[in-house]
Amino acid sequence: MFELRESPWSFAGNGDMLRLVSEARRIRLSYLFDPHLAVHSSLIDPLPHQITAVYGEMLTSQPLRYLLADDPGAGKTIMAGLLIKELLILYSAGRGWKL
C-alpha cells in the first residue's frame, strides 16, 4: 500500500511575507522589462513629445548637458520629473549610473 510520508518541502510558511518579498523582487527587476518605467509608475499622462524628449534624447546622452527650455505650457516640469525619476530608478537598480 501507499504510505504518506512528510515531504521535505513544507507549505507552512508565511504567505504575506512571501508576497512582500516577491513583489519587492519584481519591482527591483522591473527596469529590465519596462523601458518607460517612470511613466508607468507615475500618476501623470505625459504627452508624446515629453516621452520622446526624456527617453529619446535625455536618457541616451548621459551625463546630461542640456538646458531644458521650451514654450510655456509644454511640460518642462513633467519632463524634468520623469528624467529625475528614471535616473533614480536606474541608479537604485545598480546599473552604474551616476547622479
> In sequence order, what DSSP letters do the residues of 33-49 get, joined into one string?
T-TTHHHHTSS----HH
pLDDT of residue 57: 85
* pLDDT digit string, tens, across residues 24-38: 887 777 767 777 777
Cell readout for 1 is 500500500
Tell me the backbone φ, ψ of residue 54, rounded to 5 degrees.
Answer: -75, -55
pLDDT of residue 96: 53
Residue 7 has pLDDT above 70, yes or no: no
User: CA torsion sign, 83 to 59 to 34 to 91?
Assistant: negative
CA 41 to chain centre: 7
Residue 88 pLDDT grade (very low, low, confident, very high; cuts 50, 70, 90)? confident
Greater confidence (95 vs 51) lies with: 51
Q: In the predicted model, what is the mean pLDDT of residues 82-86? A: 88
